[in-house]
């Protein structure tokens, strides 16, 4: 590696790491603030919260790396341009393309890493994060009490605290109704109390002071007792209040929790189902068309049934009516009427069957499209790391500024543009309005074309200057 390559990389690596870390930090703060109400006050161990945060860092990293490489390219080439180092390098007949080689190689390596990370690490972390967050959501708060209100979260107990410090668990004016046993009810009242969880989070521990226990046994004639106490301890089973971790292997995976290989297998199954539905639709149509156009005529062996119908009609109306004097004409009319009714029923059955098959076919096609979106996304996002190099390097030279503000503003603008295309394209493709491949690659195409244009523009302008100076 030439000295100039090492020199350019040295300028690039620092801003790249800083930009990536900044974006990850912003996403991390947003995640913590969004999920804060689901984490606090539930007696969840700190290590579990840290594990949840760690499991969400991979998706933040995937979103941050393209931004980081764009920011690093802008800062590196902007600083070099501001210090007139680009002019010095140009004077040695080195083009922009040659100066971009080390950053492009770094972008290619980063693209490969992001693809591997996106396909193998990210799906598993997304799945584990979903399982853990779902378990945390199901965990009930340790202190499910509010001042002045009865709590009925524990089966068999009603707990009232007229004053409660939710941080220390200290209670004043406590009343507890205990009806765990069918034939007995306990009413406990105390001036003071304290509520907490045992260290293993399996039991709710309540200490009451200066109170009375009113015990009523319904099976005994004199089963009512009043017991005064200075201190009374209660242990209540609270396993349902604690955190129970589920087995991730028993929980189904969504689209973002699968790698490309697994998604293609599911996609192929949906394709097979679509072909099966298409074949069934065609067979159904052929079968019913054949019945309608070739078997409409009523068979002769059913004439006795129609004669019976004719007899009933004759008995119900005036037999001398001009309308039914021609018995053969009446029988033919009945046959036609029955044939039309049968045809109508057959058509209605055909429509119902076709609607069901078409609905299932469309559902499978939409599923194929949604999985194709996720597959293409795993290819397009890594390539963005390389495409942002093509944008960042020439823009850094053109702006001739390597300060944080300018570079951050430009990076943020292109980042928003790219993700706007990606997110909107994903939504349209998931609804079947856009082709999945086009929707996921539209942002890359626009950024790529713009990057190639800027790179060639700056590169050829520098060549013209060099040629002019040579003459």
What does the pLDDT read at residue 252? 79
3-class secondary structure for the chain?
Answer: CCHHHHHHHHHHHHHHHHHHHHHHHHHHHHHHHHHHHHHCCCCCCHHHHHHHHHHHHHHHHHHHHHHHHHHHHHHHHHHHHHCCHHHHHHHCCCCHHHHHHHHHHHHHHHHHHHHHHHHHHHHHHHHHHHHHHHHHHHCCCCCCCECCEEECCCCCEEEEEEEECCCCCEEEEEEEEECCCCCEEEEEEEEEEEEEECCCCCEEEEEEEEEEEEEEECCCCCCEEEEEEEEEEEEEECCCCCCCCCCHHHCCCCHHHCCHHHHHHHHHHHHHHHHHHHHHHHHHHHHHHHHHHHCCCCCHHHHHHHHHHHHHHHHHCCCCCHHHCCHHHHHHHHHHHHHHHHHHHHHHHHHHHHHHHHHHHHHHHHHHHHHHHHHHHHHHHHHHHHHHHHHHHHHHHHHCCCCHHHHHHHHHHHHHHHHHHHHHHHHHHHCCCCCHHHHHHHHHHHHHHHHHHHHHHHHHHHHHHHHHHHC
Residues of the chain with pLDDT under 50: 142-143, 296-303, 305-306, 313-314, 316-321, 323-324, 462-471
Residue 444 CB contacts under 8 Å (≥ 6 apart), including other chains: 380, 383, 384, 387
CA dist., res. 356 & res. 379, Å (int): 35
User: Can you give the pLDDT at residue 407?
Assistant: 75
* Dist CA 393 CA 389 (whole Å): 6
- Token match 């693209």: residue? 111
Token readout for 333 is 């009319």
Q: List beta partners, residue 237.
A: 203
Query: Given this model, what pLDDT does residue 40 score?
Result: 64
Q: How far is CA 270 from the centre of its chain?
A: 20
Q: Which two tokens stand for residue 106?
A: 């770094």
Q: How many CB atoms lie within 10 A of CB 148?
A: 11
| Beta-carbon contacts of residue 18 (< 8 Å; ≥ 6 apart) | 68, 71
**294 vs 343: CA distance, rounded Å:** 12
Strands 170-178 vs 157-164: parallel, antiparallel or unpaired: antiparallel
Q: Give the span between the Cα atoms of 334 and 304, in whole angstroms.
A: 13
């Amino acid at each position: 590696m030439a000295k100039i390559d090492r020199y350019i990389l040295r300028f690039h690596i620092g801003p790249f790491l800083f930009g990536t870390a900044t974006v990850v930090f912003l996403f991390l703060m947003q995640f913590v603030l969004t999920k804060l109400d689901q984490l606090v006050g539930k007696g969840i161990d700190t290590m579990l919260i840290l594990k949840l945060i760690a499991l969400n860092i991979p998706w933040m990293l995937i979103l941050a790396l393209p931004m980081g490489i764009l920011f690093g390219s802008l800062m590196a080439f902007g600083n070099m341009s501001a210090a007139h180092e680009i002019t010095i390098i140009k004077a040695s007949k080195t083009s922009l393309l040659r100066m971009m080689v080390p950053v492009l190689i770094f972008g290619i390596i980063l693209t490969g890493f992001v693809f591997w990370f996106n396909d193998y690490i990210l799906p598993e972390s997304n799945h584990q994060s979903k399982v853990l967050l779902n378990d945390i959501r199901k965990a009930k708060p340790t202190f499910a009490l509010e001042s002045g209100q009865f709590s009925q979260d524990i089966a068999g107990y009603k707990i009232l605290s007229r004053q409660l410090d939710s941080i220390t668990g200290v209670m004043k004016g406590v009343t507890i109704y205990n009806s765990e046993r069918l034939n007995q009810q306990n009413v406990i009242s105390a001036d003071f109390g304290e509520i907490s969880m045992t260290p293993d989070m399996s039991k709710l521990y309540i200490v009451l002071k200066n109170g009375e226990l009113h015990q009523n046994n319904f099976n005994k004639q004199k089963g009512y007792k009043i017991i005064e106490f200075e201190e009374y301890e209660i242990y209540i089973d609270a396993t349902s209040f604690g955190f129970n971790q589920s087995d991730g292997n028993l929980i189904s995976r969504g689209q973002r929790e699968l790698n490309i290989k697994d998604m293609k297998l599911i996609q192929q199954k949906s394709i097979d189902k679509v072909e099966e539905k298409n074949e069934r639709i065609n067979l159904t149509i052929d079968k019913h068309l054949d019945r309608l156009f070739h078997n409409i005529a009523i068979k002769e062996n059913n004439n006795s049934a129609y004669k019976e119908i004719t007899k009933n009609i004759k008995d119900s109306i005036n037999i001398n009516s001009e309308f039914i004097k021609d018995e053969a004409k009446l029988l033919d009319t009945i046959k036609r009427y029955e044939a039309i009714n049968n045809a109508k029923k057959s058509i209605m059955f055909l429509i119902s069957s076709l609607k069901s098959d078409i609905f299932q076919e469309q559902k499978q096609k939409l599923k194929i499209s949604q999985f194709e979106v996720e597959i293409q996304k795993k290819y397009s996002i890594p390539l963005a790391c390389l495409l942002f190099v093509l944008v960042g390097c020439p823009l850094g030279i053109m702006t001739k500024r390597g300060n944080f503000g300018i570079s951050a503003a430009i990076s943020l603008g292109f980042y928003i543009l790219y993700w706007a295309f990606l997110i909107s394209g994903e939504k349209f493709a998931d609804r079947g309005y856009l082709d999945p491949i086009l929707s996921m690659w539209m942002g890359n195409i626009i950024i790529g074309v713009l990057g190639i244009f800027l790179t060639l523009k700056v590169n050829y302008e520098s060549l013209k200057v060099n040629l002019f100076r040579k003459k």
